[in-house]
Amino acid sequence: MRFAATMTVLVCLLAVGGLRAQSSSTAQQIVNTMLTHENDPAEHRNRYMYLCEERSDRTGGHLWRERVVETSLGKVRLLLEEDGKPLSADRMAAEREKLRQIVAHAEEFRRREQAMKNDEEHAEQMLALLRKAFLFDEPRAEGNDLQIAFRPDPAYKTQSLEERVLHAMSGTVLVDRQTMQLHRIDGKMPTDVSLGFGLLGTVHAGSSFSTTHEREPGGDWKDATENTAIEGKAMLFKEIGKNEHVVHSEFRQLPPEISVAQAVELLER
């Protein structure tokens, strides 16, 4: 998962441990089970190739369509289209040269991907502090899911600017009733949040996030859609982007031990 994708999921998931008495104990049990699945490395060993459509700061605001292959060292990507148009011959040649450089300098690729992973792990450590920051309502059935609404615990005192923003979110989490896996999380900020008494900026009401997981071949629950729309000026959002829209599709399971060179070969076919 990328940083933005990790943030949106863990805002809700990690907030459930240590709920107050006015929260649902049933909801706590359900989401704790879901969290166990999310944090179990044994459930995330399979590798996949898939299509990714993304518009974000990473793409410069353009809509990129990429083919992605997961490896133990990181995600290898090949850009196919920009804003609905195929790449020019020169640009496609440059993309393929990038792939060759990844194979030739696999260690550099690993370090770059590890830096991104470290950002995600830092986010997880930060969000782990929010275990006592939210209250949960009783779960209710919604199709094949259990829906649990969450809201800030007013008794929780935030310790940082990041916590202040995350603690302002309210929303819902959906858990698949059969597998107890995360299906969807939605969060929205109902009121403006000032940072540093407004000196560091304000995150505006209506800022939101959502992440949807779908079950793919092999039984894995993978990111299907990710949406982040943060309106306002706040330094802490420089890394995750103010606006992001991502759709993953056409998942194809691969051997878990696939190498970077094999990933490049698949992308070049």
Q: How many domains does the chain have?
A: 1
CA distance 102 to 119: 21
Asked if pLDDT for residue 223 goes beyond 70, the answer is yes
Report the pLDDT averaged over residues 22-47: 83
Segment holding 211, helix H or strand E: strand 208-215
Work out the pLDDT band at 127, boundaries 50, 70, 90.
Answer: very low
Domain that holds residue 19: 3-268
CA distance 26 to 32: 10
Reduced 3-state DSSP string for 116-171? HHHHHHHHHHHHHHHHHCEEECCCEEECCEEEEEEEECCCCCCCCHHHHHHHCCEE
Report the pLDDT averaged over residues 144-171: 86
For the entire predicted model, the pTM comes to 0.81
Integer angstrom CA distances of residue 99 from 72, 109, 162, 255 = 16, 10, 36, 20
Report the pLDDT averaged over residues 192-212: 81
Helix (H/G/I), strand (E/B), else coil: 234:
coil
Residues of the chain with pLDDT > 90: what percent?
Answer: 46
Asked if pLDDT for residue 20 goes beyond 50, the answer is no
Average pLDDT, the chain: 83
Angle among Cα 72, 174, 163 to the nearest 5 degrees reads 75
